[in-house]
Amino acid sequence: MKIKAEGTRAMERSRLFYLVADGLGDRPVAQLGGRTPLEAAATPALDRLAAEGITGLVDPFAPGVRVGTDVGHLCLLGYDPTAVYTGRGPIEAVGAGLNLEAGDVAFRCNFATVDESWRIVDRRAGRIREGTAELAQVLHGMELSGGVTALFKEATEHRAVLVLRGSELSPDVTDSDPGPNGEDRKVQTVRDTISDPSAECTAAERTAALVNEFLTKAYRLLSAHPLNRRRVEKGLPPANMVLTRGAGIMPELRKVTETYGLRGAVVAAEDTVLAIGRMAGLDALTNCRMTANLDTDISEKAQVALSLLADHDLVLVHVKGPDLAGHDNQPLNKVAIIEKIDRLAALVLDGAPAGTLFAVASDHSTPCEYRDHSADPVPVLLRGPGVRSDGVERFGERACAAGGLGRLRGREFFLTMMDLLGVTPKYGS
Amino acid sequence: MKIKAEGTRAMERSRLFYLVADGLGDRPVAQLGGRTPLEAAATPALDRLAAEGITGLVDPFAPGVRVGTDVGHLCLLGYDPTAVYTGRGPIEAVGAGLNLEAGDVAFRCNFATVDESWRIVDRRAGRIREGTAELAQVLHGMELSGGVTALFKEATEHRAVLVLRGSELSPDVTDSDPGPNGEDRKVQTVRDTISDPSAECTAAERTAALVNEFLTKAYRLLSAHPLNRRRVEKGLPPANMVLTRGAGIMPELRKVTETYGLRGAVVAAEDTVLAIGRMAGLDALTNCRMTANLDTDISEKAQVALSLLADHDLVLVHVKGPDLAGHDNQPLNKVAIIEKIDRLAALVLDGAPAGTLFAVASDHSTPCEYRDHSADPVPVLLRGPGVRSDGVERFGERACAAGGLGRLRGREFFLTMMDLLGVTPKYGS
């Protein structure tokens, strides 16, 4: 593949294989003799990449700020989350298969069971799995005040997404979902979260009223739905209400594929990551052999990645496992999944075209003993054409702290890769 | 020279010798056994400075962002280009000798040859060299609509600069120059680049109309010029049109000499660097023995720098050669010019007053195999009074990655030098 820029410059464009190990970073673990899971794991392929390449530490957003998987991945794809991220809603809605437009306000939803006074009986409607598509159908396309339309789609199990489409909508509204311990509490009236009497506040007030209008109509439509009547007859809790949370506005998201003139793909099992990839313009690939769990089929991911590298400039492969093991405080499982990730790297290293740029990174640390995402920076490496190697011989949190990249932010790390691919514009002349 | 601050603090003010090697940074080069040109060059003086001082890596603007010579030098002098840089025009206009005022909008220009329908016959008017001052004279001072005046001045060869002076002007306009392959295309009508119906858009629309008005009048004046009649008689293409590009607005640029109470000078051959130096308040020195090429007279530059150090606090010496060798993918020439730069450093090291602070930096990397500016950070060093030395023994891209300065931005590096000079204000009390 050749690109031509100003004048006569012409160079071989490099491909990028971008391996993202979710929640990879950790802290010293007593059970591992004071090593981190990455330090304790046998990782010959990652160590080889580190030794041949350049390493460093990356703060996904900024030092000291811990991030979610969504924000972490936005940063790893070069986005500024303060400009594009207001809440999880739009990502979930894209993940559920809706095509969002800039300005849409989206919510994560649960189907729930409420009584006549809207007191919550079951926040998940008995973890309903069957018939949610039918229920969603009667809510989808609902006309609301002021020319606003509600789009509604079921997601996995009792989950769903709501999108409000119209003018002057705002994500600055509260949740109707009272939260994890919400049983016996009432469905919350949605309010705006901005008290300032500005134009944006008006949009937030208006949006809050629209959600409340949607909930009233949804309760009526769902209560009357034959599927719910049958559930009641069977003694099952009816899915007669929707709880909303995580409001976010769909940003004007410039696709990285357009910004850099690339063709890209993401290989993952997790909906969040697939959705962010799609929003960034990447082809999203998954299949039933890939799971967002410890049992994911690593060689399947490697094979799919290798076939994509034939006609894509950027192939991001995501592996969820290290994050799950971190949340569950299972250091040995984390070591095991990291060793699987090393085999994935080895397979791609064997099969990738010459000149492929290898990048290994993570969206955040998930230290086992902390059982949640932390702000510890994550180790990263780059290996390929043009890379200034450093003296680091191993891929690990402490080894990479001495790396030649120093300490970067996720967005800067992404720009560095784009620069190595030779696709960035020049600032000035 | 003494300064006194609060209380009894009084210290010898240090002088700064600031050596900027244009395009110095590189990537591993196969022809040099995987070393960069700087790593391959014999640089005893630079290595001594590195060993006695502190080193690091500098991203001129930000990690992953590649910059032009203009933006790179603005950053190396402590400016934020997002606040002061809109296009190359003002720098070229200052370089051509015009005194710009804040709010002036300036353009880079070519004299060109067009037919009666403004189709471009020769983008450079046969690379005209003679008589451009005479031609410029008839355009200089042209009165345009709304009380706007055009300033016009010839530059090197077929080049010139146009400045619009008046109220409410904007740099957000397109080029009339169709670009490098513009022959057989028409002179482009200038348009605003902001479609948003805001106040700024109006200024852009107005400015676009003013440039179009200038071009119409310029075509008439130049076509009728006796010099062009003589060119046609001799069978030479007449310089009967001006092509404009690179619009930029002259910012309110606070001079670094005023900000820090310094007397400063820049020694260079390249107009861009001399112009930015002047804009920053530096005395700009050049002579015919200095070239912006590989054959520049290094000892002349050293001698001029040494004499300037007698009565200046800051002397910036710029050497263009490494950038040229990078653009041309000539690693051996890059090694050779770097070795000349090392001799320049040695000469200044021998002759400079005791207590001189030495700084070595670069405006950007120009890797040979990439043949253009890249975003790779550049190696830097500081050596002199008050500097905390590190263990780095050599001046090179990879050696400096382990340096005690870590990884800084160009503006931060400049502030660090100002702090070592003892001329910075205190934030807080």
Hey, how many other C-beta atoms are within 10 angstroms of the C-beta on B174? Answer: 17
Q: Select from A357, A404, A361 the least CA-distant residue to A379.
A: A361
Residues of A in contact with B371 (CB under 8 A): 9, 11
Taking any CB pair shorter than 8 Å as contact, residues of chain B touching chain A are 27-28, 36, 57, 61-72, 74, 81, 85, 88, 180, 246, 367, 369-376, 397-398, 401-402, 406-407
- Residues in chain A with CB shorter than 8 Å from the CB of B63 are 408-409, 412-413, 415-416
Residue among A386, A402, A424 minimizing CB distance to B66: A424
Angle between helices A298-309 and A331-351 (to 10 degrees): 30
Q: Which of A7, A389, A418 comes nearest B64 by C-beta?
A: A418
Between B28, B81, B371, which is nearest A428 by CB?
Answer: B81
Q: Residues A267-282, buried b or exposed e (16+ Cβ, 10 A)?
A: bbbbbbbbbbbbbbbb
- Average pLDDT per run of 10 along chain A, which is 429 residues long? 35 83 98 98 98 98 97 98 93 94 96 96 93 97 97 94 96 93 88 73 90 98 96 95 96 94 96 95 94 90 97 97 97 98 98 96 98 98 96 97 97 98 94
CB atoms within 10 A of CB B121: 16
List C-alpha distances in Å: A46 to A210, A268, B34: 51, 20, 22
Q: Are A15 and A313 in contact (CB under 8 A)?
A: yes
Task: Tell me which chain A residue has its CA closest to the CA of residue B108.
Answer: A429
For B316-341, the pLDDT digits (tens) are 999 999 999 999 999 999 999 999 99
**Cα–Cα dist B154/B212, whole Å:** 19
The whole-angstrom distance between B6's CA and the closest CA on chain A is: 35
- Which residues of chain B have a CB within 8 Å of the CB of A80? none
pLDDT digits (tens, 9 = 90+) for A104-120: 999 999 999 999 999 99
* Cα of A239 to nearest chain B Cα, Å: 47
Q: What is the pLDDT along chain B (429 residues), one digit of tens a residue?
A: 444 444 333 455 689 999 999 999 999 999 999 999 999 999 999 999 999 999 999 999 999 999 999 999 999 999 999 999 999 999 999 999 999 999 999 999 999 999 999 999 999 999 998 999 999 999 999 999 999 999 999 998 899 999 999 999 999 999 999 988 777 799 999 999 976 666 555 899 999 999 999 999 999 999 999 999 999 999 999 999 999 999 999 999 999 999 999 999 999 999 999 999 999 999 999 999 998 889 989 999 999 999 999 999 999 999 999 999 999 999 999 999 999 999 999 999 999 999 999 999 999 999 999 999 999 999 999 999 999 999 999 999 999 999 999 999 999 999 999 999 999 999 998
Strands (E), B342-403: 357-361, 378-383
CA distance A10 to chain B (A): 9
Among residues A11, A39, A31, which one has the least CA distance to residue A369? A31
- The candidate with the shortest Cα–Cα distance to B29, out of B38, B21, B20, B17, is B38
Residue located via tokens 């010959």: A44
Q: What is the pLDDT of residue A12?
A: 56
Task: Determine if the pTM surpasses 0.95.
Answer: no
- Nearest C-alpha of chain A: how many angstroms from B69? 6
Taking an 8 Å cut-off on Cβ atoms, the answer to whether A404 and B406 are in contact is no
Does A407 contact B407 at a Cβ distance shorter than 8 Å?
A: yes
Residue tagged 């050696």 (tokens):
B399
Residues of A in contact with B372 (CB under 8 A): 5, 9, 426
Q: Where are the alpha helices (DSSP H) in B106-188?
A: 132-139
Give CA B213 to chain center in angstroms: 30
Please list the helix, strand and coil fractions of chain B in percent, rounded to the nearest 5, in that order.
Answer: 35, 20, 45
Q: How many CB atoms lie within 10 A of CB A34?
A: 11
Partners of residue B60 in chain A, C-beta under 8 Å? none
Looking at this protein, which amino acid is placed at residue A360?
Answer: V
Task: Spell out which residues of chain B touch residue A401, defining contact as CB-CB under 8 Å.
Answer: none
Angle at Cα B276 formed by Cα B274 and Cα B277, nearest 5°?
A: 60
Contact B66/A407, CB-based, under 8 Å? Answer: no
Do you know the residue count of chain B?
Answer: 429
Reported in sequence order, the residue ranges of B238-383 that DSSP labels E, i.e. its strands, are 241-249, 264-267, 283-285, 314-319, 357-361, 378-383
Residues 6+ apart with CB under 8 A from A140: A150, A151, A152, A153
B405: number of Cβ within 10 Å: 22
Size of interface A-B (CB pairs under 8 A): 97
